[in-house]
């Protein structure tokens, strides 16, 4: 297929690469050109701008950071879009914005899915992401063969915006599970236990989680290299807070985790992985 991929960052680049490696023709564009050019050796065609990337593509993927970024991509690409194309936004942004974008492109005869993902950079590289899609079901079925190269599971969640709402629910669970893992490790270390053995012991039982298994060893090693940036989880939790206010839902755990991640950013960890939230526990322990 002729595919356009806009956004070749820590998640987008390996996802686009997976589509290249199964034989699709992929045109890529990124605001930082060097990130797009890095895929040229793998056969990607580097486009000069978003409009050039999407022109003639059967499917257009967007994987950028935030709501204004997606809106800007759509605005720049819109003059080149034609009826019958499918646009799939795999970023994590506002559900309300996704509904507006879907309605806007529908007037052009362009199908639109919001299909955010979970699984981090490892999932992007290995094709094991979890994909949560909102939009028209026939558009989801059209995208399904491509999703199968990107993720282990793709689930149709309902109308436009439903994919993003599901992803935001995911982020609540992720943030709180990460805090639980961080506190358990710090508690074990303070009690004189070997933390890696604690992970082995409790990870096989009811305390087990993806965060404990995958980020626990990094917390123990002080390895804060990013698989998913602190700055991005902070953005995601702001989106959750906005949606919760609209729905009049109380989320006390969300408020705590927003504070923890904001503190991590204040300590200089905004461009580190989410596991750097563990550094905040060290600072809190020093408070007299």
Q: What is the pLDDT of residue 280?
A: 96
**Spatial distance between the Cα atoms of 86 and 140, rounded to a whole number of angstroms:** 10
117-118 and 129-134: which strand pairing? antiparallel
What mean pLDDT comes out for the span 159-167? Answer: 98
**Spatial distance between the Cα atoms of 93 and 65, rounded to a whole number of angstroms:** 8
Cα→Cα distances 54→3, 61, 141, Å: 8, 9, 21
**Spatial distance between the Cα atoms of 104 and 127, rounded to a whole number of angstroms:** 31
Cα→Cα distances 2→36, 38, 61, Å: 17, 19, 11
Q: Is the pLDDT of residue 22 over 60?
A: yes
Domain at 2-160, CATH homologous superfamily: NAD(P)-binding Rossmann-like Domain (3.40.50.720)
Q: What is the pLDDT of residue 286?
A: 77
- For the chain, percent helix, then strand, then coil, each to nearest 5? 60, 15, 25
Q: Is the pLDDT of residue 240 over 60?
A: yes
* 38 secondary structure, DSSP code: T
* Catalytic residue chosen out of the listed positions 82, 125, 167, 235: 167
Q: What is the pLDDT of residue 287?
A: 63
Q: Known catalytic residue: 167?
A: yes
**Minimal CA–CA distance to 36: which of 51, 17, 55, 23?**
17
State pLDDT tens for residues 45-90.
Answer: 999 999 999 999 999 999 999 999 999 999 999 999 999 999 999 9
Q: What is the pLDDT of residue 282?
A: 87
**Minimal CA–CA distance to 137: which of 105, 115, 117, 159?**
159
- What are the helix and strand counts (H, E) for the chain? 14, 9
**Spatial distance between the Cα atoms of 258 and 238, rounded to a whole number of angstroms:** 8
Question: Which CATH code, of 3.30.1200.10, 1.20.140.10, 1.10.10.10, 1.10.1040.10, is assigned to 165-285?
Answer: 1.10.1040.10
**Spatial distance between the Cα atoms of 167 and 1, rounded to a whole number of angstroms:** 28
Let me know: does 130 contact 118? Beta carbons within 8 Å.
Answer: yes
Q: What is the pLDDT of residue 285?
A: 81
Q: Is the pLDDT of residue 110 over 80?
A: yes
**Spatial distance between the Cα atoms of 182 and 107, rounded to a whole number of angstroms:** 48
What mean pLDDT comes out for the span 97-110? Answer: 98
Percentage of the chain beyond pLDDT 70 is 99
Confidence grade of residue 188 (pLDDT, cut at 50, 70, 90): very high
Q: Is the pLDDT of residue 288 over 80?
A: no
**Minimal CA–CA distance to 119: which of 90, 162, 161?**
90
**Spatial distance between the Cα atoms of 244 and 23, rounded to a whole number of angstroms:** 42
Model pTM?
Answer: 0.93
User: Residue ranges per domain, the chain?
Assistant: 2-160, 165-285
């Amino acid at each position: 297929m002729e595919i356009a991929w806009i956004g070749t960052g820590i998640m987008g680049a390996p996802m686009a690469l997976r589509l290249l490696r199964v034989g699709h023709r992929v045109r890529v564009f990124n605001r930082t050109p060097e990130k797009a050019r890095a895929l040229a050796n793998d056969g990607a065609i580097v486009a000069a701008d978003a409009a050039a990337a999407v022109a003639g593509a059967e499917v257009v993927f967007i994987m950028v950071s935030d709501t204004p970024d997606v809106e800007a991509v759509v605005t720049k690409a819109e003059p080149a879009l034609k009826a019958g194309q499918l646009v799939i936004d795999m970023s994590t942004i506002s559900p309300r914005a996704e509904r507006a974008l879907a309605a806007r492109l529908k007037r052009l005869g362009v199908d639109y899915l919001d299909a955010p993902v979970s699984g981090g950079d490892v999932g992007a590289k290995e094709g094991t992401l979890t994909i949560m899609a909102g939009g028209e079901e026939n558009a989801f079925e059209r995208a399904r063969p491509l999703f199968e190269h990107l993720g282990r599971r793709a689930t149709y969640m309902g109308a436009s915006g439903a994919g993003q709402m599901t992803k935001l629910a995911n982020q609540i669970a992720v943030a709180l599970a990460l805090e639980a893992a961080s506190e358990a490790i710090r508690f074990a270390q303070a009690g004189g236990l070997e933390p890696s053995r604690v992970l082995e012991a409790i990870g096989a039982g009811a305390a087990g989680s993806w965060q404990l298994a995958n980020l626990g060893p990094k917390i123990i090693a002080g390895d804060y290299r990013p698989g998913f940036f602190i700055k991005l989880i902070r953005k995601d939790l702001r989106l959750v807070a906005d949606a919760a206010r609209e729905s009049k839902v109380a989320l006390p755990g969300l408020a705590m985790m927003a504070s923890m991640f904001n503190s991590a950013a204040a300590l200089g960890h905004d461009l580190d992985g989410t596991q750097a939230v563990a550094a905040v526990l060290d600072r809190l322990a020093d408070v007299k």
